[in-house]
Amino acid sequence: MDSIMVTGGRPLEGEIPISGAKNACLTLMPAALLSSDPLTLTNAPRLSDIRTMAQLLESLGCEVAALQDRRVLAIGAEHIASHVAHYDIVRKMRASILVLGPLLAREGRAVVSLPGGCAIGARPVDLHLTALEALGAQLDLREGYVHAQAPVGGLKGGRVTFPLVSVGATENVLMAATLARGTTVIANAAREPEIVDLARCLKAMGAQIEGEGTPTITVQGVDRLHGATYRVVADRIELGTYMLAPAIAGGSVELLGGTRELVSAFADKLEATGVEVADTARGVRVTRGNAALRPVDVRTAPFPGFPTDLQAQMMAALTLADGVSVLEETIFENRFMHAPELLRMGAHIDVHGGIATVTGVDKLRGAPVMATDLRASVSLILAGLAAEGETTVARVYHLDRGYERLEEKLGGCGARIERVAA
């Protein structure tokens, strides 16, 4: 397995282009199953998860072409050859469950393996299933697979009320509802930018949707959707991650294509540490002077709150703050697995359940560490930017699922970083 080696102590100066959003693209790709016409996605990120989703769609009979240096994905689903999403592919990535709603809506049946992904908690799919049942689906879980069947005449509109906010379940039922007969109301819907992006793409394909970005989404089902060309929104988690790079290492970096509105709650917390965040004509500029970071308290929450996917990276920064910070993780259990690795670098972190207390230290020390999940892996790399000496991050296959050309992007701003082949 490859490793990433970082030698810290150098401030960052320059610019970093922000790629298309992984989580948005992984949702838009299954939307192609809703139409027999092609769906073309531009600004696609070049990531292993995107390739995995392409493999899954191809296994169902889709034709997927990666064009223009893999930044454009042309997906054709004229003929669905299989209704089974097999474990061998689905186990690699939780987003695979998002083929369930589109297959069920268009074909009336689907058999989808329960998904895999990062080991950051149970993340059950029960909210997906109960939402689809509200549209008339008959569901059965057997031998690790969801067997789904639509009623005669197809799915029908209904009211879905989520007991708690779920991005994936909102996406799944939103796609299914576009072809359901009648009106579907989704209450306590997720409000993330990826939800808005999906709704806009579906509307470009002919769907009738209102209320995306609010807690209540209303969908009027249509008989069919047509093809479209759609640009994937910028990746807000990549944006937030690279905003933290100069905050940790010092310096000033402009994030091209990013907007503050994508990460407003995060940007507010970052400014509270004493880091300057400024809009520019091309994106967002983050600057840190010589003063130590100020401690802040962070509580993760569904959008528009502080993103759980930036909690690990923020913790890495707060290990160097002048005081005590408290981070509360409310979305996923087991999402402090990066903390023991940061301790190896000299951090002071005390974890009790879903709360981590971080007491800032004067400096971190480079050490060999191991990534446990996608966001944990990049948090260790960020810590390495400020640490004395050399940090080697093992098991970076996690990293390749969510960050495109990380070494090149950080290296272009002066970071001493390289990939070491196994």
Residue 226: what pLDDT? 98
User: Does 343 belong to an annotated binding site?
Assistant: no
For range 70-94, the mean pLDDT: 94
Q: How confident is the model at residue 116 (pLDDT cuts 50, 70, 90)?
A: low
Q: Which of 268, 346, 279 is nearest to 314 (CA)?
A: 268
Q: Is 363 annotated as a binding residue?
A: no
Instruction: Check pLDDT > 60 for residue 132.
Output: yes
- Nearest Cα to Cα of residue 380 among 5, 2, 1: 5
Mean pLDDT of 112-131: 70
Q: Does residue 118 carry a catalytic annotation? A: yes
Is 124 labelled a binding residue? yes
Residue in 331, 344, 342 with CA at minimum distance from that of residue 378: 342
125 is in an annotated binding site: yes
Domain limits, the chain? 3-18+234-420, 22-231
> Would you give the distance in Å from CA 319 to the centre of its chain?
24
80 φψ region: left (φ > 0), alpha (ψ -120 to 50), beta (else): beta
Report whether 140 belongs to an annotated binding site: no
Average pLDDT in the chain? 94
Give tens-digit pLDDT for 13-32: 999 999 999 999 999 999 99
- State which amino acid sits at residue 329: E
Would you say 331 is a known binding-site residue?
yes
Catalytic residue among 25, 118, 201, 413: 118
Domain 3-18+234-420 is in which class?
alpha beta
Quick one: pLDDT at residue 124? Answer: 65
Q: Tell me the one-letter amino acid at 298.
A: V
Confirm or deny that 23 is annotated as ligand binding.
yes
208: pLDDT strictly greater than 70? yes
Looking at residues 147-164, what average pLDDT do you find? 97
List, in order, residues 6 or more apart from 403 with CB less than 8 Å away: 47, 238, 241, 378
Do the domains at 3-18+234-420 and 22-231 have one common CATH topology?
yes
Which class would CATH give 22-231?
A: alpha beta
pLDDT above 50 (res 118): no
Q: Please check if 123 is assigned to a binding site.
A: yes
pLDDT, average across residues 212-239: 97
> What pLDDT sits at residue 121?
42
Q: What's the confidence (pLDDT) of residue 119?
A: 41
106-130: average pLDDT: 76
Percentage, residues of the chain above pLDDT 70? 98
Region 317-330: mean pLDDT is: 97
Average pLDDT on 256-279 reads 97
Whether the per-residue pLDDT at 120 is higher than 70: the answer is no
Spatial distance between the Cα atoms of 190 and 303, rounded to a whole number of angstroms: 7
- Mean pLDDT confidence for 66-86: 96
Which pLDDT does position 185 carry in this prediction? 98
Residue 126 annotated as part of some ligand binding site: yes
Residue 418 has pLDDT above 90, yes or no: yes
User: What percent of the chain has pLDDT above 90?
Assistant: 87
What's residue 117's pLDDT?
Answer: 44
d(C-alpha 371, C-alpha 290), whole Å: 30
- Is 127 marked as a binding-site residue? yes
Binned at pLDDT 50, 70 and 90, residue 400 comes out as confident
